[in-house]
Every structure is written in C-alpha cells, then in structure tokens.
Chain A
Amino acid sequence: MIAIDRSRLPTPGADPTVRFPAVSRRSLANGLRVRTVEHRGVPVVSFLLLLSSGSAVEPIDRPGLAALTADMLDEGSGARSALDIEDALSGMGAQFETEVGSDATVLSLLTLPRFCDQALGLLSDIVARPRLFVEDFDRVRELRLNRLRQLRDLAPAVADIALARLLYAGHPYGRLPIGTTRGLESSSADDVSRFHQQVWRPSEVTIAAVGDLSHDDLFGVVERAFGWWTEGAQDPQALAASVPNAMTTPAPAMPVAPLALVDRPGAAQSELRIGQVGVPRLTPDYYALLVLNTILGGQFVSRLNMNLREDKGFTYGVRSGFEFRRAPGPFVVQAAVQTGVTADAVKEVLGELRAIAGPRPATAAELGLAKSALTRGYARSFETAGQIARGLAQLALYELPDDTLEQFVPSIHAVDIDAVTTAAQRFDLSRMTVAIVGDRAKVEPGLRGLGIGEPTVLDAEA
C-alpha cells in the first residue's frame, strides 16, 4: 500500500523527454516541397497542403477572393463534378478541410493508409486543375454572401472585423479572409481563375505527409499525385505588382481611433477587443513574448482571467494573444463581458497591460509557472499525425530553421524576468484600440469616463 500525504502536493518527477518527429525534407522536380514523418501506431495518414499565400495577396478591390478561390477548388475538376468529388471523399471516409488565413491557405486531408494514393490524387486534381465553372461560382459566391449577412448578427465576428479595420487601415491585414460584400459582389469567375493561376503554383506549396507509412512511401504518394503539376502561364509578378504586399507595406503607426463602438441594442454582453499592431513571427523576442502572454492572458490562471473571471465574475473567460504572422500581426485581448460592467472590464484590462510592463512586473512564481506550463506541455504537441503535420507547416510558412522544434524548450527556459518586462514594454497604450460590440446606450456613458477618447461609432460592416 502506497502511503499518501495530503499535507502537500506531490512533486512531479523528471520532465519527460519530448520525442521529436524525425523529418525528411525533399522536393519534387516542379519545386513543390515535401516533408514527411513516420508516425506509427494508428492506421491514419494526415496530409497538409500549405500554400504560402492567403487573403493578404488579394487585389485590394477584391476582398474575399482568396477564400472564394479556395472554396471553389472542390467544386469540380477534370471530369468530376462537385458531387463526384464529395462522393469520392466520403467513399474513403476521408476528412477534407480548407482554411484561409491572411498569410496562408491550408488544405488538410485525413485518410486511411489504403486510400492514400486515391485521396491525394483527388487533392492534386482539385488543386491543380479545378473547373471553376461559372454556375458553380455563382452558387458558392451566393452562399458566402449569405454567410456575410449572417455574420453581422454574430458579435465576435463583428468585433474581429472592426478590430482589423481599426488597426490596419489600408494594409492587407485590414480585412478578414471572408472578405466583404462589395468585394465578393465585384468578383467574377474570371477573377477566380486568374487568381488561381497566379497564386496556386507548385513552387509556392509545401505538403506535410505524416502517418503510418515509411518516409519513402509517403514521399512516393505525394510524387505520384503532384509530380505532373507544372507552373502555369500566368506571371506571379503581375499579381505582386498590383497588390500592396503585407511584407513591404508598413502597418499604420496609429489606429484609426482609440475607442470604437458598434451598436447592438439589447445585447446581453459586450464583445470586447483591445489590441495593437504587434510583431512578426520572426521577431527576436518571440519566446519572451510567449512567456509574457502565458502570464498575462494565455492560460486559465493568467492575470487577466484570474482578475476578470475568477475574482470579478465579469466574463466566462478572457484571453490574450500575439498573432504571429509573416508581417507584424495584431496583439489582441478578447472577452465577452456582461453589459453593465463593460467600462470596468476595459479599465481592468488596460490596468493589467500597464502593470506587467513595470509597476507590477512578472514575479518569479509567475515566470516559473509559465515556463513549466509551456515546456512540460510541449510533448502533447506531437501526439497525432495532424498535430505534427501542422507543426511542419508552421516551419515552412515562416521559413524557420529545421531545429526550431528542438529549440523550443531550451529557448523558453532561457527567458528571465527582465526579458519578460522588456517584452511587455511593447504594449503601447497610445497605439491601442478598444473595440466594443454592445448596447451603445448602456455602455457609452461609462466608456466616456475612462479618459481614452471619444467613442467612434462604427457600422457592423461585412
């Protein structure tokens, strides 16, 4: 019988050794990069196709075109209609998903090893030679326009759209991938076709293949499926010249307004976003910022959540995060708070942002907790084939060194309190914006009392 001691918590044993996936890196003759990992034990294979272009490379008068184009890929290709493609995928029990972000487009396909060739052949077909028929375009665009209509009633979406507009006016990050009604209405099937030829090129694609097959078998599946794909005739430079580039367009120094309100009469809560333009993924203080954010708002026991949820009961939860992108992405604090405490919640968040940069720097206990949480939890990142594939895609998207995964734990351990305090000085309240989607009549008086400026009233735009 093991004796137990309830007078103190057991001390965890030695930290587990993280088992890093052994990555094989190769390329096809057409320039497409292939990353493979043998991941045994469950008979599945996860393919993740990364196109290093997202909504940030859309023509400025076509917001939504990148996502519309990605959505059109599985609407027919070669001899197959959209329904044929769907039948083929479901006949294999495959799971297919498309995600479009500002810097990247990701197509993921989870399947069983015996269907690999068939599934990836289908994927190459839809990526390299989609039909892009006008009748399919009309239907897909109509569905996306209806989705935009519905988003106007969804407070978190309205708040996200408002924040992007406030922080990134005139910048490619100033719109969300879903785009705008006007952008979609202006887009034609020809635009989709042109954008596809310009952007979807094998030299811009990385495929991560992770699963219950050998490196050679995984590579062979990708090569058989994608080896025939050739660069199109369209000149990608023509697109680059016509589009403001996120990498070369500086983000605005100041937000459009320090405080903005979208009126939602009768709303039970205020949807809150507080943010500023942050840093790119390749920022030298990346690890210090991860630790800082873990302390501030990146986990349940963070300062923000313990204050606004566990102490005051203002919200079901609040979190913060740096969106590390190729160009400086936003730092955002987000929460839905009870209408009556909206101004108090804003005040508390701003107070925490100020405090951690100096008056109340991270303590040794907070630092230890954050570093342990990040390093000891890291092993979990490599449990499933899909997680590993996603990690490889991150490396490819940001062109990170091959040993980035191995460097994570030592790099976090190297962060000290000074580094956290210095990183926190990136919070600049004069460059922050506060965006609120809520009942204007009820929240505006309190917000005026905060001394952060007159509220600018925005429409729920989409």
Chain B
Amino acid sequence: MNIPYTKHTLRNGMPVLIHEDHRCPIVAVNLWYHVGSKNEQPGRTGFAHLFEHLMFEGSEHYNHGYFQPLQQAGAVLNGSTNSDRTNYWEVVPTSGLELALWMESDRMGHLLPALTEEKFRNQRDVVLNERRQNYENRPYGMAAMAIVDALFPPAHPYHWLTIGSPDDLQAASLDDVQAFFRRYYHPGNASLALAGDVAPESALALVDAYFGGVEPGPAVGPVACDNTATRDSRVLLEDGVVLPRLYLNWLSPAIFADGDADLDLVADVLADGKSSRLYKNMVYERRIATDVIAVQQSHELSGFFQLIATAAPGHTLAELEAAMSAEITRVAESGPTSAESQRSLAQAEAQFVYRVQTVGGFGGKSDQLNQYNVFVGDPGYFDRDLDRYREATPASVAAAAGRFLVQAPRVAVSVVPRGRLDLALPDSTKVVCS
C-alpha cells in the first residue's frame, strides 16, 4: 500500500501534493501551516488555536463567515491546532474545487484587512467556552494540564496545552494576531495537499493561479527545547470524579524518531485489547481497574508515553501502580512473545490499509501526505512508516521499554475525588489547575 502522489513547488516556495482517486466525485483540500502551540511564548499560551478560529471569520475579498459558501457548495470543512501544526481542510464535490482554493488562498493572502476587534473578542469567548466544555467541566479534564506542567520544564514549548490558559487568552491583543499571521501564515510555512477526483495538471494550474501570487514570509526556524527529564515526581489533582485515576508519564522519542514505533508496540502489548497484559491482569482477572490505556503520544519535538488506569471501587492507585511497574519491567526484560509480535504487526498492517479509505478530513489521505511532508520532508513516507513496525524485533521493543520507561524518570499524576487525597499515590504533591 502507498499513496501515489505528485509533488510540485510553487514559485513562492509552497509545496503542492496531488493524489488522484476517482472512486467518489469529491476532492479533499488539506492545508497545513507548520505552527502550533510550540511556537507560543509563555504568557501568550492558547494563541495558535485562537488564531485558527479567526481564520474562519472572513478575509478581505469575502468578509463574511468562511463556512457559508463552502457549505452551500456541499462541502464539509474544519480545522485543528495541536502543539506542532495547524491544519485546515475542505472536502468538496468535484465541482467545488475552485471555490475551496479561492477561499483558502484568500485567507492565506488577505486575512488581516478583514480582522476586527469585534471578531477577535467573539472568538475569544467561543474558545473560553471550548475550554470549559472540553476541560473544566469534563471529568478528568484537567489531568492533561497537570501532566504537561509536571513533565516538561517551564521553558519547554510543550509545558502548556494548546487550549492555553484563560489569563493568557484574555491578555492577547489584535496586535498579537497581526504579528502572528505575518510570521507564520504564509506559503513558505505551509503545505497543500489535494486528494480525490482531480486531474493533476489542471488542478495544479488552479492552485498556482490562486496561491502562486501570495508573498512568502520570513523563514520559520525550528523551536529549541531541552528534552532531558530530570527526576521522578508525583502530583495529585482533585476533581469532580467518583473513581480515582492514575496517569504514569515518561518523556519519549519524537514522532518518527528511533524508538517511537517500538514504544507503540510496547503500548500494544501492555494495553491494546482484552488479551493485552495489563487489561488481562488488572481488569479481566484481578478486577482492580475499570480500564487501562497505554499510548505513545508522538509529537514533533518530543514524545511522551502514558499509562492510564482507573481504580475499581475499593482499590487504590498504589495497587495499579505496582501492577503497571511490574509489567513494564517484564516487557523490558523479555520483550513481547512471538504471538504478541504477530498480532501487533497484523494490526499495524491492517490499520495502514484502513487509513487509505478516505481522501479527506482528519487523518484521511490528504492529511497523511501533509503530515509526512511537514515532519519528514517526504510525502511518500507511507511505506517507510509501515516498515518501522515490520522491522521492530522483540529485542528492540524490550530495549525501548527499558531505556525510555524502566530506567527513565517518571511523572505520576493521581486524579482523586474531591476530599479523598488518601486515594492518591503516597507522597504526591497537591496541584491546582484552572
């Protein structure tokens, strides 16, 4: 499997990736800007994401909401911001391609003349409500804040979440918006992918017509950071929950770096499915937990590996911690069994096939081409990506578990019901997130 594509570079430096798939009369337009919350400064956190919202509020030549003409054309569209990048996409009927390119290029080239203080204040309110809905008012919703706060030092660009802090969002000004746009939103810091029912030559000509004249901005350099973890720590957070939950966290390799795929496989062995080691032990047999999750969170500058489990009523987080630590040590000593390795590989290979079912949206083929292009400089990395899982061995998986988990400092975050500090891991420091 792969995603066949052509790559072109416009005269302003913007890469254009085109993939043909004529099975359905639709086209995905997917545009990445290589900017995320990692590019923010302390005191102005949450800004990249707030900016993303403003991209939907109109640009110079269509100074109305971004959604209306595209929805009228039958499109579905969205955008998202994470620590590393901001993406925007439309999936349009074949007949709507030019409209989508018109709209995307107008907000890349001509956003600022349409920006007003009123739009800015409105979207800040919307974002504050997004934060309330997805973090403040959600059980365990503040755990992620406590985790990155404890795991990454204050100067590290992953020390804060993409949603940002309310104080910082309130402090942001329209001047900040303009400076941010000039610095990060230009062809030299973007990557465009089209996938679907397109004729590559005419599509490229259209892209060139709409985007080719947009001026490139200043080069955006890499963001510096220090990924050396210092020491073990334990924190606890009170929340409106009935069952306590433990999050164990370690710094880990960045996306596509050595060890990243091995840690995905460690996560599989530990907690993917009922027959995984931790699920079987903690949920199925001993019933000390109601769920367990293992995940290698792969980001551009660094990763972090997480083990998360919720205690069943009457059980303590210390019991969960003991079970998880013991199993990590076992994986580091002897790696996965051959049956476990075969299952992991079968799943990885099937997942790669399932991923090429859609041309657009989050995770569709157009998004995938951009991810490879932006992070490894090779849109055709699909096969190489899968090879990482094929080339992993029980020894390499064991080595990754040993190096990145067993021998590395660990941040343990206990989330406990309000007033039940006794349920946290012993010797945890209480923190407050707001």
Contacts and interface: CB of A to CB of B under 8 A. Distances in A.
Contacts of A40: 23
B353 to A, nearest CB: 6
Nearest to A381: B24
B243 A146 contact: yes
A382 interface: yes
Contacts of B23: 40-41, 383
Contacts of A143: 283, 290
B91 interface: yes
A153 interface: yes
B347 A301 contact: no
A369 B71 CA distance: 7
B241 A338 contact: no
Interface residues of A, number: 82
B356 A42 contact: yes
Contact of B73 (A12, A82, A300): A12
B358 A383 contact: yes
Nearest to A266: B240
A9 B100 CA distance: 10
A13 B272 CA distance: 47
Nearest to A338: B129
A299 B71 contact: yes
Contact of B357 (A94, A264, A384): A384
Contact of A300 (B71, B102, B283, B290): B71
A95 B354 contact: yes
Contact of B273 (A90, A142, A311): A90
A315 B131 CA distance: 10
A336 B25 contact: no
A288 to B, nearest CB: 19
Contacts of A373: 71-72, 74
B290 A42 contact: no
A86 interface: yes
Given A4-B102, A95-B354, A300 B242 contact: no
Interface residues of B, number: 83
A7 interface: yes
A204 to B, nearest CB: 28
B376 interface: no
A282 interface: no
B102 A9 contact: yes
A311 B24 contact: no
Nearest to B311: A146
B205 A2 contact: yes
Interface string B109-152: 01000000000011111111110111011110000000000000
Nearest to A437: B137
Given A110-B354, A146-B313, A369-B68, A87 B96 contact: no
A86 B346 contact: no
B61 interface: yes
A74 to B, nearest CB: 9
A83 B284 contact: yes
Interface string B318-358: 00000000000000000000010011001111110110111
Interface in B4-26: 21, 23-26
